[in-house]
């Protein structure tokens, strides 16, 4: 059956937060309006087909100047995996020192996406 409808989205690509209107046919985005830049189109298409987000959280770190290491997925992962990813990341603990961008967990939940450190943590003196 052919189904078409209009989906209203708020673009999260930047702080402007454009109100997007997407024509969807058979679950696929056909056209996007309301965007002020190309990122809006990319976001709308991905949001209809497979909504994805960058996940940011913290992991315990030992022997560093701080006790929590901020981490992020290097690329966005499927929105549906957020809670599962959080449960997985809770298992990890790392030791200082850690460099910004260092891979902390590779291939998170088989997504092919790595989790990286989002700051440098030097050893505590």
Partner 1 sequence: MTASVQERDLVVIGGGPAGLAAALAAKEDGIDDVLIIERSDELGGILNQCIHNGFGIHLFEKELTGPEYAERFIKDVMKEQIECLTGTVVTGLSREREITAVGQESGLLKIKAKAVVLAMGCRERTRSAIHIPGDRPAGVFTAGTIQQLINLDGYLPGKTVVILGSGDIGLIMARRLTLEGVKVQGVVEIMSYPGGLNRNIAQCLNDFGIPLYLSHTVVEIRGKERVEGVVVAPVDSRRVPILDRSFYVPCDTIVLSVGLIPENELSRMADVRLSSTTSGAYVDENLQTSVDGIFACGNVLHVHDVVDFVTRESWRAGKNAARFIKSGLPQCGIAVKPGKNVRYVVPHMVSGEQDVEFFLRASRPMGRSVLSIQPGLREVRQRIVKPSEMISVTLSADVIAKAKSSGEIRFELDERGTGQ
Residues engaged in binding partner 1 (CB under 8 A): 9-17, 19, 36, 53-58, 60, 65-68, 70, 72, 79, 82-83, 86, 100, 118-120
Q: Give the residue ranges of DSSP H helices in 1-125.
A: 38-49, 82-89
In the complex with partner 1, the residue whose CB is nearer, 8 or 26, is 8
In the complex with partner 1, the residue whose CB is nearer, 25 or 122, is 122
Taking the alpha carbons at both ends of the chain, their separation in whole angstroms is 67
In the complex with partner 1, the residue whose CB is nearer, 12 or 25, is 12
């Amino acid at each position: 059956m052919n189904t078409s409808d209009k989906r209203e989205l708020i673009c999260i690509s930047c702080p402007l937060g454009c109100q997007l209107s997407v024509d969807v046919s058979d679950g696929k985005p056909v056209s996007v309006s309301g965007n002020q830049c190309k990122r809006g189109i990319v976001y709308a298409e991905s949001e209809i087909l497979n909504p994805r987000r960058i996940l940011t959280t913290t992991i315990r770190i030992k022997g560093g100047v701080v006790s929590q290491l901020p981490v992020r997925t290097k690329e966005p992962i499927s929105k549906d995996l957020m809670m599962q990813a959080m449960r997985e990341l809770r298992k990890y603990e790392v030791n200082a020192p850690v460099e910004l961008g260092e891979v902390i967990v590779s291939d998170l939940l088989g997504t092919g996406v790595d989790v990286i450190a989002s700051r440098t943590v030097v050893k505590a003196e």
